[in-house]
Amino acid sequence: MLTFKQLKKTYGGRTVVDINNLNIREGETIGLVGNNGAGKTTLFRMLLDLIRPDSGEVLSKDQNVSENDHWKDYTASYLDEGFLIDYLTPEEYFTFIGSLHNLSVAHVADYLKQYEEFFNGEILNRGKYIRDFSKGNQNKIGIAAALMQKPELLVLDEPFANLDPTTQIRLKSLIKSLKSTHRLTTLISSHDLNHVTDVCDRIILLEKGLVIKDFHTDENSLKELEAYFSE
Ligand SMILES: Nc1ncnc2c1ncn2[C@@H]1O[C@H](COP(=O)(O)OP(=O)(O)OP(=O)(O)O)[C@@H](O)[C@H]1O
């Protein structure tokens, strides 16, 4: 589904992403891990054509993401609050995002019913603007809105950060269930080794922009990653 080819990004003379050849198959749930500044967000931003690589390319279904827009039809993402519209209420925002996918107000209301538990009574009908929600609740709004288009590819940057433990567990169940029902391909960056090894079937470890490890998760993965990061 995705190929990162000889992909390089440099800031101020420092290479922050340097990936020779990396393939992501359809239906995989990938956990991208690495210390602060490893290049995770930069990699996601190139995948979503928010920034351009200095050289190399990102292919989504064999097409360069910076050369055409086909990938936008099946790709959903939530990287940060910049994806939200601060002066709207969650209802207005969901309606707006729904309209981009030709969903009526009634369709959107119906869609949101499945997120009742995930929202935990904190998102809808609160009579406040998105800017006034906590960061964790903003994350919930962004993730639910991203999933509205029924994507084939989902990209989430540190989705567990700022979520309460209950919602973290619900988010993991949601990702697992979308994988089994829709063969969703998911890329998640996270500093939470516990969650990432639980929900992901493959881990890619970045360090200074390079892929240091790339392996399928098993019962030893968490311990191996903890050992790596405690060195
Ligand atoms: N616009 C920019 N201008 C200059 N340097 C940048 C820019 N964007 C990212 N960087 C640098 O690129 C490196 C990689 O940053 P990136 O945000 O991709 O790392 P990350 O793995 O997501 O880190 P974190 O875990 O802290 O979120 C960092 O050194 C960062 O300072």
Q: Does 171 map to a domain? A: no
| Contact 11 CB / ligand 1 (< 6 Å) | yes
Task: Count structural domains, the chain.
Answer: 2
> Rounded mean pLDDT of 35-45?
97
Best mutation site among 14, 19, 41 for ligand 1, i.e. most ligand atoms within 8 A of its Cβ?
Answer: 41
The verdict on 92 and 141 lying in the same domain is yes
Reading the block at residue 128, the tokens are: 């406040």
How far is 103 from 117, CA to CA, in rounded Å?
22
CB atoms within 10 A of CB 224: 17
Note the pLDDT of residue 22: 98
Best mutation site among 7, 10, 14, 16 for ligand 1, i.e. most ligand atoms within 8 A of its Cβ?
Answer: 16
Average pLDDT score over the chain: 96
The verdict on 58 and 158 lying in the same domain is yes
The residue nearest atom 24 of ligand 1, judged by CA position, is 36
The verdict on 22 and 52 lying in the same domain is yes
> What domain range is 141 assigned to?
80-150
| Strand, helix or coil for residue 88 | coil
Cα–chain center distance at 31: 10
Specify the CATH number for the domain of residue 19: 3.40.50.300
ipTM above 0.85, yes or no: yes
Ligand 1 centre from 49 Cα, in Å?
16
pTM, rounded to two decimals: 0.96
Q: Does 4 map to a domain? A: yes
Q: Does 109 map to a domain? A: yes
The verdict on 160 and 47 lying in the same domain is yes
Write the single-letter amino acid at 41: T
| Contact 209 CB / ligand 1 (< 6 Å) | no
| Strand, helix or coil for residue 91 | helix
Note the pLDDT of residue 182: 87
* 34 DSSP assignment: -
| Contact 41 CB / ligand 1 (< 6 Å) | yes
The verdict on 225 and 192 lying in the same domain is yes
Q: Residue 117's closest CA among 50, 53, 166? A: 166
Note the pLDDT of residue 231: 81
What radius of gyration, in Å, describes the C-alpha atoms of the chain? 18
